[in-house]
């Protein structure tokens, strides 16, 4: 079995070094252009050179995100950018746009290309297609299905299980071991004190808090609501709570309207 790789994001050079020092096997980062991680800061070419040297001296890997979907006006600047980074000993480049993949193969024929999550890979036939196109690693879409389980790529702290009787158990994500056996998802605490199988559960969701106080499943507010994660991230405004519930994935949310603020559990 291949060894799992602990991969960490690096928004800047300092974060890259910290991730490596604290045990990451690899980091991924964007440049200052052509990356959907541009909002995280991004590394200049000279910073990439320093970061690559720092990581490689410690036996770690570095991946560059080049995962925008390009417009025609991006083509010439992209070619120039690829020429400017082709000397870098990158361990992989994350791409979502097939046109950029073609450009990479032209300018950097030895580059290892990985499929970015932005390409929304959700099925095995599409995986076969990208493998045929030469992708060395496929990063799945942010939401995939494992049996009846929705695995969400959000920054949550707890995985919550609600059984058929309605009792809810919270398990800290950082203390979980997750395996698949005989087609079932097995979730176990690292100390072995609790084990759940996918077939044991009727409800499963992710949350930032283990506090169920004040949570409603039947709340109705017939006015515009803004929905937030329990971590405070706004997910947008909706016509009313029922409209919001239809649009949201299972989990705990905070909904704010003019008249009230409510915790809602979406099942």
So what's the pLDDT on residue 231? 55
Half-sphere exposure (Cβ direction) of 69: Cα atoms closer than 13 Å: 4
Q: Does residue 77 register a pLDDT over 70?
A: yes
Which string of DSSP letters, residue by residue, matches 39-81? GG--B-HHHHHHHHHHHHHTT-EEEEE------GGGHHHHHHH
Q: Does residue 78 register a pLDDT over 60?
A: yes
d(CA 28, CA 123): 24
Q: How confident is the model at residue 33 (pLDDT cuts 50, 70, 90)?
A: confident
So what's the pLDDT on residue 203? 47
CA 97 centroid distance within chain: 18
Backbone φ and ψ for 213, nearest 5 degrees, come out as: -60, 130
Half-sphere exposure (Cβ direction) of 231: Cα atoms closer than 13 Å: 11
Looking at every residue in the chain, the average pLDDT score rounds to 75
Q: How confident is the model at residue 40 (pLDDT cuts 50, 70, 90)?
A: low
Query: Max CA-CA distance within the chain?
Result: 61
d(CA 233, CA 235): 6
So what's the pLDDT on residue 82? 95
End-to-end C-alpha distance for the chain, whole angstroms: 35
So what's the pLDDT on residue 230? 60
Surface-to-core class of residue 164, CB atoms within 10 Å of its CB (0-12 exposed, 13-18 middle, 19+ buried): exposed
So what's the pLDDT on residue 218? 45
> Is pLDDT larger for residue 179 or for residue 134?
134
Q: Does residue 95 register a pLDDT over 50?
A: yes
Count of C-beta atoms within a 10 Å radius of residue 118: 18
Supply the DSSP symbol for 111.
P
> Is pLDDT larger for residue 15 or for residue 161?
15
Count of C-beta atoms within a 10 Å radius of residue 78: 21
Q: How confident is the model at residue 225 (pLDDT cuts 50, 70, 90)?
A: confident
Q: How confident is the model at residue 146 (pLDDT cuts 50, 70, 90)?
A: very low
Q: How confident is the model at residue 85 (pLDDT cuts 50, 70, 90)?
A: very high
Supply the DSSP symbol for 139.
P
Window from 66-75, 183-192, 201-210 with minimum mean pLDDT: 201-210
Taking CA atoms, 103 is separated from 86, 142, 230, in Å, by: 12, 26, 42
């Amino acid at each position: 079995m291949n060894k799992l790789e602990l991969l960490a994001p690096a928004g800047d050079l300092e974060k890259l070094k910290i991730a490596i020092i604290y045990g990451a096997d690899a980091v991924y980062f964007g440049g200052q252009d052509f990356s959907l991680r541009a909002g995280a800061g991004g590394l200049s070419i000279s910073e990439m050179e320093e970061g690559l040297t720092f990581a490689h001296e410690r036996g770690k890997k570095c991946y560059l995100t080049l995962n925008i979907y390009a417009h025609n006006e991006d083509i010439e600047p992209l070619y120039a950018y690829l020429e400017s980074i082709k000397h870098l000993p990158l361990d992989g480049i994350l791409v979502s746009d097939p046109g950029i993949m073609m450009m990479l193969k032209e300018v950097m024929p030895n580059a290892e290309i990985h499929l970015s999550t932005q390409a929304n890979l959700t099925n095995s036939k599409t995986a076969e297609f990208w493998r045929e196109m030469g992708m060395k690693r496929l990063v799945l879409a942010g939401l995939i299905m494992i049996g009846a389980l929705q695995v969400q790529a959000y920054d949550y702290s707890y995985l919550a299980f609600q059984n058929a009787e309605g009792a809810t158990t919270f398990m800290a994500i950082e203390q979980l071991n997750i395996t698949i056996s005989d087609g079932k998802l097995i979730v176990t605490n690292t100390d072995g004190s609790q084990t759940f199988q996918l077939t044991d559960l009727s409800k499963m969701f992710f949350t930032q808090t283990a506090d169920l106080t004040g949570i409603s499943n039947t709340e109705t507010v017939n006015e515009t609501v803004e929905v937030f994660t329990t971590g405070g991230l706004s997910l947008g405004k909706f016509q009313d709570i029922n409209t919001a519930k239809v649009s949201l994935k299972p989990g705990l949310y905070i909904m704010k309207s003019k008249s009230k603020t409510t915790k809602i559990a979406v099942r």
